[in-house]
Amino acid sequence: MKYALVTGGSRGIGRACVQKLYKMGYEVLINYVSNEAATQEALASIDGHGQLMRFDVGDAEAVKNVIGAWQEAHPDDYIEVLVNNAGIRRDSLLIWMDSADWYKVLNTNLNGWYNVTSAVLQPMLLHKFGRIINMASLSGLKGLPGQTNYSAAKGGMIAATKSLAQEVARKKVTVNAVAPGFVKTDMVEGLDEATLKKDIPAARFGEPEEVAALVGFLASAEASYINGEVISINGGLYT
Ligand code: NAP
């Protein structure tokens, strides 16, 4: 059995990644923080052949305990693919931004990356194979007004991707980031799609499955020589 962990696997892009990795033959560990109903739907969408892993990625102790308990219960296995997908946004202009919104976004989107990655890295190195795929964003490359917190977190994740890739490449572990533009999920609910798509060369928002297809490729053996990269997937909006 080969295992993949998708953080924030209950909904949106994460759920599409769960489905893609399942089709690639992985037993998928579906992480979520609170939405039981959506997580059950995600599990049902892969015919129940997955495991649920509830924890807040921003809670270092919880991450360590849950992943540690899984590893203890599976001493001969390891998580060979990690998709660091869990993320939130709390947008406002910096001048109006509450410190709580700054810290919450940084803690979930960037400290969460550290918490989960450090919990699964050692077994990947020992087994001399691993794939870490980080869900960044256009906002982390280009910056977007109203998203200083989110841009800082995603930009930090991109920089960490490049550093870690160089640390672990010799052990045949690759670390890459995917930077989506606008993708149709709960996260973009409330955005004015009709206006925003006028600026997108492809003239539409992306589908979660399109992002998952890229994640699946980066997880595959064929992608062995791609390391430390950030791949945009945004309909031509920004390269
Ligand atoms: P979404 O539909 O809002 O889903 C968010 C997922 O993250 C849910 O599974 C949620 O779990 C989980 N999550 C949130 N906080 C968490 C925490 N503290 N610990 C564990 N899980 C947590 O979002 P999405 O649009 O699919 O976004 C997925 C990733 O893509 C995010 O990192 C986002 O920043 C990035 N992204 C999205 C877009 C876009 O246009 N949609 C563009 C660029 C980048 P529950 O179901 O339990 O709440």
Mean pLDDT of the chain, nearest integer: 97
Whether 226 is in a domain gets the answer: yes
Token pair in block for residue 73? 């219960």
Residue at 238 is within a domain? no
Query: CA 236 to CA 239: how far, in whole Å?
Result: 7
Q: Give the CB-side neighbour count of residue 237, counting CA atoms within 13 A.
A: 26
Q: Ligand 1 mean position to 41 CA, how many Å? A: 16
Residue 89 belongs to domain spanning: 2-233
- Give domain status of residue 213, yes or no: yes
With respect to residue 239, please indicate whether it lies within any of the assigned structural domains: no
Question: Using CA atoms in the order 5, 85, 100, 149, what is the torsion angle rounded to 10 degrees?
Answer: 150
pTM: predicted TM-score of the whole model, two decimal places: 0.98
The whole-number pLDDT of residue 239 equals 61
DSSP states of 43-60: HHHTTT-EEEEE--TT-H
> Is residue 75 situated within a structural domain?
yes
The ligand 1 atom at the shortest distance from the C-alpha of residue 86 is: 7
Q: Supply the pLDDT for residue 238.
A: 78
Q: Which of 57, 143, 141 is nearest to 105 (CA)?
A: 57
Spatial distance between the Cα atoms of 231 and 239, rounded to a whole number of angstroms? 9
Say how many C-beta atoms besides its own lie within 10 A of residue 209's C-beta. Answer: 15
In a domain, 97, yes or no: yes
Give the residue from 14, 58, 20, 19 showing the smallest Cα distance to 35: 14
pLDDT in tens, 143-187: 999 999 999 999 999 999 999 999 999 999 999 999 999 999 999
CATH number of residue 199's parent domain:
3.40.50.720
Residue 80 CA to residue 120 CA, distance in Å, equals 8
- pLDDT tens, 85-138? 999 999 999 999 999 999 999 999 999 999 999 999 999 999 999 999 999 999
Q: How many domains is the chain built from?
A: 1
Tokens for 39, please give them: 């997580």
Q: Let me know if 150 is a catalytic residue.
A: yes
Using a 6 Å cutoff on CB, does residue 155 contact ligand 1?
no
| Mutate-to-test residue for ligand 1 from 13, 63, 230, 232, highest number of ligand atoms within 8 A of CB | 13
